[in-house]
Amino acid sequence: MKKITFLLALVLIISCSTTDDNQEVPVVEIYNYFPLTLSSYWNYNNENEEGIARDSLYTASNEVLNGLDYTKLIASEPISGFMTSMMSQNLMRTSESKLFLNGEFGTPLIEGFPEISIPLTDLIIYDKEAENGALLSEEIGEVSEIIDDIPIIINYTISTIQGDIIDEGTGAFTANKVLTSSIILNLSISTNIEILGTVIVIPILQAQDVLKTTNYFASNVGLIFSESLIEYELEDLSSLGIDLPIPSEDSSTTTQNIDTYQIEN
């Protein structure tokens, strides 16, 4: 009786072992939404109100900063695309799920608009593990400038927001997995005027999103499409005799659409 019980147990063990060995192991797909291997390049067709231009972006070198490995990208001059300009003027790196940008952020090239530089320390451009709508990074600060002898104070907030992952391409590109995220620049501008010994804060630009860029990244390709909206409206200060060399308002859209690319393994 003991022999029969032992044989049955042995058969069960062998049967379970065989079943486990024959089970198919699911393949886990790894999505790299911005390969930064050297000798890779991306060519973009950019479009705005002035027409169509072309940008070329290249990976140039690897650099180490604060013990972290970054990739330096360069772009052929002249540069017309906002994201091409931003990526080629900073260092970038990826982790398992995130894309980081390290360096500084310059405001859009609007004629007469104050030029400010916002330092960025590993701004998270996207995080494929974050939920749709999640705040990824936020930089808040203040800078002072003098325009036409008028001292102004600029308050800024730059934030990045995770978007959705969609199962289709965008623009002229098709892909089975596309990740989206946004960069938003919120600005307010004011000046101080002294009247009869009392300092009064005069708003020039009420806090508003001056720039919103929505980016689309395809797995094993990188940035495939980008749309930047610049929009703002200044306060009317004519009654105070303040006339700044800044356009009173602007509303414009630019796009970058990938044309050709090469990703080195």
Of the chain, the end-to-end C-alpha distance in Å amounts to: 63
- 235 contacts 249 by C-beta, under 8 angstroms: no
Quote the CA–CA distance of 252 and 94 in Å, as a whole number. 31
What does the pLDDT read at residue 259? 94
Quote the CA–CA distance of 33 and 125 in Å, as a whole number. 11
Q: Which CATH class is domain 31-262?
A: mainly beta
Quote the CA–CA distance of 231 and 233 in Å, as a whole number. 7
List the domain boundaries for the chain: 31-262
Q: Beta-carbon neighbour count of residue 10 at 10 Å?
A: 10
Q: Beta-carbon neighbour count of residue 101 at 10 Å?
A: 23
What does the pLDDT read at residue 109? 64
Is the backbone peptide bond immediately before 151 cis, with ω within 30 degrees of 0? no
What does the pLDDT read at residue 13? 41
Q: What is the DSSP string of the chain?
A: -HHHHHHHHHHHHHHHHHHHHHSPPPPPP---SS---TT-EEEEEEEETTEEEEEEEEEEEEEEETTEEEEEEEEPSSP--HHHHHHHTSEEEE-SSEEEEEEEEE----TTPPP-EEEEEEEEEEETTSPTT-EEEEEEEEEEEEETTEEEEEEEEEEEEEEEEESS-BTTB--S-EEEEEEEEEEEEEEEEEETTEEEEEEEEEEEEEEEEEEEEETTTEEEEEEEEEEEE----GGGT---SS-SEEEEEEEEEEEEEE---
Closest CA to 47 of 259, 250, 254: 254
Q: Which residues of the chain have pLDDT under 70?
A: 1-30, 108-109, 168-172, 174
Residues 6+ apart with CB under 8 A from 23: none
